[in-house]
Structures are given as C-alpha cells and as structure tokens.
Amino acid sequence: MTDHSHTLSRRHAMALAGAVLLAPGLAAAQGNDALPSWRDGPRKRALLDFVGAVTQEGGADFVQPNARIAVFDNDGTLWVEQPAYTQLVFILDRIRALAPGNPDWQQDPVFRAALAGDLHAIAAGGMEGLIRLIGAAQAGTSPDDFRGVVAEWLASARDPKWGRPYTALVYQPMLEVLAFLRARGFATFIVTGGGVEFVRTISQDAYGIPPHQVVGTTFSLKPGEADGRITLTREPHVDFVDDGPGKPVGISRQIGARPIAAFGNSDGDYQMLRYTTEGPGRRFGMIVHHDDADREYAYDRDSDIGRLARAMDEAPQRGWQLASMKNDWARIFP
C-alpha cells in the first residue's frame, strides 16, 4: 500500500493526520470539539451521546473496545459519487484505453454505451452490465498490478465539477467522525458496493483505513504459477456483490462480528443499517442526505446513482439519524 502513496494527495493525508492527532487532545479537554465541521444540532448530539454511552465504563450501554465496530459505506458517504461513481469513471477510461484491442466490444450495447460515456444507458444495463464492464476493465491483471493501474489513474484524473483529484473530494465531517471514533477505541471499516481492490488503493491515505478493513465486491482470483512464482490472476466474473442484502453477508464473512454503528447514504446501505441497529444493546445508524445543490449535489429518491428512498422513509421509525449536508455540515471538503 505504501508503494504508491506518493500518487495520492498529501493534503488529505495531512488533513486526516491532523484530525487524528487533534481528536484525543480535543476529547480530553472538556468542552472542546472533536467534530468541528458538524453544526450543533440533533445529529451531532445523537452521535456524541452514542459514543459517550458506549465508552463509559460502568455505564448501562458500555461496550468493550473489541466490540466497538463502525462500518461506513464509501461512495456518497465518505466521498462524492456524482455525476458517476469514481470507479465507474475509472472503468470507462480503462474500457476506452483497452477498446482498440477488443474490436468485438463494438457489437455489444453495454460496451457501446461505455465507449460513448452514456451513463444513463449504462445504468439501464443494470448491475449485470456494470459487472461485465468492471470485469473487462480489470481482468487479466494481478491484484498488485491492478493497484498500480488504479493509483496511476487517480494521480492524473480530475473530477469534472471541481477539477480536483477524486481523492480530494472526501467529506471533512466524515473524516472527523472516523478520527473521533478511532480515538474512542472503535475499529472503522469501509463496507462498499465498489470493487474491494479499487477502494483499498485509496483507503489508507484518504481515510486512515488499512486495506484489510475494507469490505467490498470481489472478483474471482485464479491461483497459478508462472516463471517459478505463485501468481494470482483477476478473472472477469464477480464472486461476491457487497451491496444491499450482500452488505450484512460481507460484514459477517470478513469482520466476523455485528457492528454497533453504521453510516450510509443510499438504499444500498439499507440492510447494513438494519443489520447493525437490530443488534442488542445501544446502536447507531446515520444516513448522509445529499440536499446541498450549492455546495455539492441534491438528490435522493429519483437518482440513478445513490438512490435513497426506503432507507430515508424508514429512518424515523428505525431511529436512524438523517444528516443534512446543507444544515448539519459547516464544511464539505477538507
């Protein structure tokens, strides 16, 4: 992971390190604020109350440090997912780069849509079409090689709205939540519908989360041998989709314990939020609501990307906090 850290923004690493270093000190000094980018209000208070309750030794809601597990969706929860998932932008760039060697792609509607950059047509192809594109973009490389390709792409790619590297478009209030929870003994995990290796490329530098604490969609890996060495080759078919009902499965398989706090932003996080908050004892669920067209984007139930309907509708009855980017966040980016 450290091999390509120079390709990622130093600025976020610094911002994050700052948050990590400051949080314990801030926490120790009574009255100081470990979440300065959160405006005072019910959401911030609910989060502080929860963390206070589960970390108070002798309290009714105390949770041992080993069991303080918090899970975070990535796209739209920790970084920007509009106008298209960053990984999708990467895949489309890769498909374009690989197209000259794959003339048969021109006969395939999914690949034609990809080559035309037609996001609506790609969305119309559903998860199945998307998985075929991802498979084609990633197949044949080893995991090590693939991480190199992603790191190289991230170093030069720029978001169309802000013209900044994608790794600059992480949410400062969420970086503060991550650092605050870790300072309180939590282990923080990403649980993403995105490809696990793609997200692992950025997780340490962008969020302070090591690769093994990223749960995600996986492609089949074929073991073999070449030139007297063990090889692993990525195959073009998904063997696990870590989205929707898959998120509790991925959590159970990789983390091996039920989280006590979950953060998401779309219906793809609905089951993860339920699985987390249906456990016994004090629990916490939070949804990031993209309602800030001025500073970021405003979308929910009608969006192709990051659709949020059922999880929002059921949030009150399930006790989930609906955090408004517009009202609850004083700042969006670091």
Interface residues toward a second copy, by CB under 8 A: 1-2, 64, 66-67, 143-144, 187, 189, 196-197, 200, 204, 210-214, 218, 221, 223, 229-230, 232, 245-246, 248-249, 252-258, 271, 274-275, 278
Smallest distance, Å, CB 51 to a second copy? 18
My answer on whether omega of the bond before 83 falls inside 30° of 0, hence cis, is: yes
Instruction: Note whether 289 and 43 are within 8 A (CB).
Output: no
Closest CB to a second copy among 227 and 294?
Answer: 227
Closest CB to a second copy among 36 and 211?
Answer: 211
CA–CA separation, 41 vs 87, rounded Å? 34
Smallest distance, Å, CB 143 to a second copy? 5
DSSP string over 143-206:
HHHHHHHHHHHHHH---TTT-S-GGG-B-HHHHHHHHHHHHTT-EEEEEEEEEHHHHHHHHHHH
Phi, psi (5° rounding) for residue 235?
Answer: -100, 155
Instruction: Note whether 199 and 11 are within 8 A (CB).
Output: no
Smallest distance, Å, CB 91 to a second copy? 19
Q: Find tokens 């041992």 and name the residue.
A: 64
Phi, psi (5° rounding) for residue 221?
Answer: -115, 130
CA–CA separation, 43 vs 306, rounded Å? 21
Closest CB to a second copy among 122 and 214?
Answer: 214
For residue 135, which of 201, 91, 198, 74 has the smallest C-alpha distance?
91
Closest CB to a second copy among 189 and 263?
Answer: 189
Smallest distance, Å, CB 182 to a second copy? 14
Smallest distance, Å, CB 198 to a second copy? 11
Closest CB to a second copy among 6 and 295?
Answer: 6
Smallest distance, Å, CB 37 to a second copy? 26
Closest CB to a second copy among 43 and 200?
Answer: 200
